[in-house]
Amino acid sequence: MTIMINKDPAAIALQERWERLRSHKRIISRVKLLVEWEQGGAKEHANAVTVDVSHSGCMAVVGADLPLHKRVRLIQQETGRKAEAEVVWRSHEAWDAGFELVKPDATFWGLR
């Protein structure tokens, strides 16, 4: 289901195009994560919370400025489940990031 906020026909067409290109449907879900990665030989981590999730990844607000294509480990804080992922999108602000799971798993998020 698409919620149209902008009534501009060009913006609506663009949003519909992106939805067709996505490999999996997104579900709005707030999941608390710990994001871990290696930086200069040291293990780094930051707290994050998802905005939406899908079979292949998520978009999240992250408390660190992760570079594109960085390989990370996503750890669900509530369950301890872990998944390897890659940063595939960054907003122009440092907080929003898109993660693609290296091995997509529909059960990782625990949604039915």
All structural domains of the chain, each given as residue ranges with its CATH number in brackets, are 26-101 (2.40.10.220)
- Tell me: the pLDDT tens digits for 58-80? 999 999 999 999 999 999 999 99
Q: SS3 letters for the chain?
A: CCCCCCCCHHHHHHHHHHHHHCCCCCEECCCEEEEEEEECCEEEEEEEEEEEEECCEEEEEECCCCCCCCEEEEEECCCCCEEEEEEEEECCCCCEEEEEECCCCCCCCCCC
pTM (2 d.p.): 0.77
- Tell me: the pLDDT tens digits for 5-48? 556 777 666 566 555 545 557 777 899 999 999 999 999 999 99
